[in-house]
Amino acid sequence: MNIIMLGAPGAGKGTISGKLNEKYGLPHISTGDIFRNNISKGTELGKLAKSYIDSGALVPDEVVINMMIDKLSSDECKNGYILDGFPRTIAQAEGLDEALLKSNSKIDFAIVVDADDDKIVERLSGRRVCSKCGETYHIVSLKPQKEGVCDKCGAELIQRKDDTEAVIKDRLNTYHEQTYPLIDYYTKKGIVHTVNGFDDLNVTLKNIEEFIK
């Protein structure tokens, strides 16, 4: 089963993907995480991606498409996957479709995680992430037991550089201009199901499970 998660940054795609990964055992592939990993390791890909990410812009399509085609043909993805953050443009969706066609595969479900921009700004600007394991927290609604320290692994919590208010607004603009049209693209394929990114997580998961059944 191949699933893609669509929705604005901060809508909740990552959290829901993590839960779907636990439920279905499919790998959760987050392009943002792949880039951040490469940045922290100082790879060529990381060096290339950094300036785009820091400014809230998208990494160029050809870079992302090639990276993801490689990833999806790896052993890890042979039984399916949950794509979180890819595709993000029509060109990426078309590139993905082309590659899937060649391998006689397809996207089965596109889950749209809907959320209002103002709520997203509040959520993302208060978000803190573990510098080691990536676990996420919020300064008001999801505090760690000890301030600034990850409950899971004890590492330091940090604010992502692109989670500052000015960059969040740029990321939302990028989303509305370049990614939002994908909802129509996948609606025409008849595989879209929409959930609310601010609903109770367990209710949302039940809702998605019912749809997938």
Please state, in angstroms and as integers, the Cα–Cα distance from residue 100 to each residue in 95, 103, 132, following that order.
Answer: 9, 5, 33
C-beta of 13 vs 213, nearer to ligand AMP:
13
Give the one residue of 7, 12, 27, 32 binding ligand AMP; rule: CB under 6 A: 32
User: Which is catalytic among the residues 36, 123, 127, 128?
Assistant: 127
User: Around Cβ 14, how many Cβ atoms within 10 Å?
Assistant: 19
Quick note: the x/- pattern for ligand AMP over 48-77, rule CB under 6 A, is ----xx--xxxx----x-------------
User: Which is catalytic among the residues 50, 71, 132, 160?
Assistant: 160
As a whole number of angstroms, the longest Cα–Cα distance in the chain is: 50
Give the one residue of 67, 171, 195, 197 binding ligand AMP; rule: CB under 6 A: 171
Exposed, middle or buried by CB within 10 Å (0-12, 13-18, 19+), for 154? exposed
Report whether 90 contacts 185 (CB < 8 A): yes
State how far the Cα of 109 lies from the Cα of 146, in Å rounded to an integer: 39
State how far the Cα of 63 lies from the Cα of 46, in Å rounded to an integer: 11
Where in 103-162 is the site for ligand AMP (CB under 6 A)?
162
Packed helices 44-55 and 165-174: angle between N→C axes, nearest 10 degrees: 100
Give the one residue of 28, 88, 127, 128 binding ligand AMP; rule: CB under 6 A: 88
Residue 86 within binding range of ligand AMP, rule CB under 6 A: yes
Q: How far is the CB of 179 from ligand AMP (least distance, A)?
A: 8
Give the one residue of 35, 81, 109, 137 binding ligand AMP; rule: CB under 6 A: 35
Confirm whether 128 is a catalytic residue: no
- Residues noted as catalytic: 13, 88, 127, 160, 171
Chain positions contacting ligand AMP, by CB under 6 A:
9, 31-32, 35, 52-53, 56-59, 64, 85-86, 88, 92, 162, 171
